[in-house]
Amino acid sequence: MILYPTIELLNGRCVSLNRGRLDEPHIWHVDPVEKALEFAAAGAQWLHVTDFDAVQGSNANEALVTEIIRCAGAPVQLAGGIRTREKAERWIDQGAGRLVVGTLAAQNPGLVKALAKSFPDQIVLAVDVWQGRVMTEGWQTQSAFEPAGFMAAYSDTPLAAFLVTDIDSDIEDTDASLGLISGLANATKTPLIASGLVRALDDISRLKYVRNVAGAIVGRALFRKAFTLEEAMAVVAQAPEPVADFI
């Protein structure tokens, strides 16, 4: 399982959001580029960067994101406002390792499938779930799609992964989230990245036992210093405990 230390950007600053609310961000007083370098130096295999300004249609962070991509020393999985072929191609040309699309996948599945074929294993499909439905527009709009059916529509698409967030449980109940994650992970052959679940090292330990979960987003907990990235990676590296087979 790969950990994705996460940098969320709003107005050029590192932030964390409560259930996606852009009007009440928690601002972390750290330099985004320096934080990216710190994560890479700690051994991160990937960085996950979300540009909340881009979600709102602004290019204000474009230069900053480009600097992170070029300077961090680890590949970047970029999310936020990627809703056209031109924008996707531009970020790939700028060196982004992967692109995360969500709203585009709900509105124009043909384009997402074409992008995945043009850039195999570089397109990640975000599945943000609230009250049993997939949310779009930065968690602001509820679609008619159920997550399992939404994912099944992309079963033959060469995606790098599904990035699944249980919005209902994002800041409340880890065990409830694992139920959603486990069910969706078992329903697809595409690797699944879990988001919004890791608040303590024990959460990483539990995720290791979920079949087909290939990664976990870790953001707020690292900024709060609940644990270090090195500690989290040590948990990932531990051999799982044996599980008895029952007939």
pLDDT digits (tens, 9 = 90+) for 172-218: 545 556 888 999 999 999 999 999 889 999 999 999 999 999 999 99
Is 128 annotated as catalytic?
A: yes
Domains, the chain, ranges and CATH? 2-237 (3.20.20.70)
C-beta contacts of 175-180 below 8 A and 24+ residues apart = 178/206, 178/207, 178/210, 180/129, 180/147
**pLDDT of amino acid 195:** 92
Specify the pTM.
0.92
With a cut of 90, say whether residue 239 has pLDDT above it.
Answer: no
**Tens of pLDDT along 150-172?**
999 999 999 999 999 888 766 55
b/e code 10-36 from CB counts within 10 Å (16+ = b): beebbbbbeebeeeebeebeeebeebb
- Average the pLDDT over 213-230 and give the result: 96
pLDDT at residue number 8: 97
Which residue out of 128, 166, 170, 203 is catalytically annotated?
Answer: 128
8 catalytic, yes or no?
yes
pLDDT bin (cut points 50, 70, 90) of residue 19 is low
pLDDT tens for residues 51-79? 999 999 999 999 999 999 999 999 999 99
Instruction: Exactly one of 8, 53, 170, 203 is catalytic; name it.
Output: 8
- Measured between alpha carbons, how far is 139 from 21 in angstroms, rounded to an integer? 9
Averaged pLDDT, 121-148:
87
Residue 244 has pLDDT above 70, yes or no: no
Closest by Cα among 109, 212, 222 to 157: 109
Q: Out of 22-31, 121-130, 174-183, which region has the weakest mean confidence (pLDDT)?
A: 174-183
Which residues, in sequence order, are CB contacts of 55 under 8 Å at separation 6+?
22, 80, 81, 137, 138
